[in-house]
């Protein structure tokens, strides 16, 4: 059996890479089953984007959602209890093309409000 793969390698100079960091402390209302938007943006013209990582308070009743082009990237979300917490970012490495909108959101399956601290990192690579 033969397997072939195309590997794309680009060389970037430090001046051609930018990073955007989004962070917050969000109260997620009880029984929030539709993701509550906590941050959103759009990859700037002239750049390709990569969602680098998420850091979030670990809580079994909370899930993290990433929407790209109005479509959920993780259909059932990522349970925050399984992620690296606030001290260790969890790598996501999701490529987003130039001009594409993104959004992150949180859900809460418990019967009480919860406070989630989070940090979300995107790198932009100049074309």
pTM (two decimals): 0.86
Is residue 6, in this structure, part of any structural domain at all? no
Specify the number of domains making up the chain.
Answer: 1
pLDDT tens sequence across 93-105 = 999 999 999 999 9
Is residue 12, in this structure, part of any structural domain at all? no
What CATH number does the domain containing 67 carry?
2.60.120
Is residue 110, in this structure, part of any structural domain at all? yes
Is residue 8, in this structure, part of any structural domain at all? no
Taking alpha carbons only, the member of 43, 25, 49 closest to residue 115 is 25
Domain that holds residue 80: 17-126
Is residue 1, in this structure, part of any structural domain at all? no
pLDDT > 90 in the chain, percent: 83
Is residue 3, in this structure, part of any structural domain at all? no
pLDDT tens sequence across 27-73 = 999 999 999 999 999 999 999 999 999 999 999 999 999 999 999 99
Is residue 7, in this structure, part of any structural domain at all? no
């Amino acid at each position: 059996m033969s397997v072939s793969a195309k590997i794309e390698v680009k060389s970037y100079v430090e001046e051609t890479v930018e990073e955007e960091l989004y962070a917050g402390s969000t109260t997620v209302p009880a029984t929030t089953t539709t993701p509550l938007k906590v941050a959103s943006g759009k990859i700037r013209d002239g750049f390709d984007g990569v969602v680098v990582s998420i850091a979030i308070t670990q809580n079994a009743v909370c899930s993290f959602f990433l929407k790209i082009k109005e479509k959920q990237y993780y259909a059932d979300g990522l349970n925050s209890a399984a992620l690296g917490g606030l001290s260790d970012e969890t790598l996501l490495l999701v490529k987003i093309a130039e001009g594409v909108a993104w959004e992150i959101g949180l859900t809460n399956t418990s019967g009480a409000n919860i406070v989630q601290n989070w940090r979300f990192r995107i790198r932009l690579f100049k074309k």
